[in-house]
Amino acid sequence: MFQLDDKLIDHPKLIRAGQLVGRNGVSRALHLYLVGLVHAKRYLTNGFLGTPVVTSWAVCENPVRVATALCHETVMLWECVPGGYQIHDYLKYNLTADEVKQKQEVTRKRVEKWRASHPRLTHGGNGGA
């Protein structure tokens, strides 16, 4: 899991993005911003969101307009970069893809070692039944 700022729902940057979007703007901006965070975390993109990915999300009406608002100079929750968008300060608050992969590998080895030392519990033993 990742941490979300509990002030996000009424953060001035989000309110400003919503104003730029128009009808239901704050809701649309919040929705796209959160989907972007989840996508970056799930696919280990280091906060990069490709334009084709963002435009394919059917989470809000006109995602390009919303993304543009998130990148606006008065908002800067996202940054427009070649090929898409970068979540502003993503790596300040989240592990890099390499750090996540390293932690996953440590966990995998730990679990593998535990399973090897407990074969009756993990390889078809009756588990005490």
Q: Are residues 15 and 66 in the same domain?
A: yes
Closest CA to 31 of 61, 59, 69: 59
Q: Are residues 28 and 90 in the same domain?
A: yes
Q: Are residues 87 and 109 in the same domain?
A: no
pLDDT per residue as tens digits for the range 9-19? 899 999 999 99
User: Would you place residue 106 in the very low, low, confident or very high pLDDT band (cuts 50, 70, 90)?
Assistant: confident
As given in the structure block, the two tokens for residue 66 are 């919303």
> How many structural domains does the chain have?
2
pTM comes to: 0.80
Please say if the pLDDT value at position 25 is more than 70: yes
d(CA 107, CA 28): 37
Tell me if 49 is assigned to some domain: yes
Tell me if 1 is assigned to some domain: no
pLDDT per residue as tens digits for the range 50-81? 999 999 998 888 999 999 999 999 999 999 99
Q: Are residues 87 and 100 in the same domain?
A: no
The residue ranking higher by pLDDT, 129 or 38, is: 38
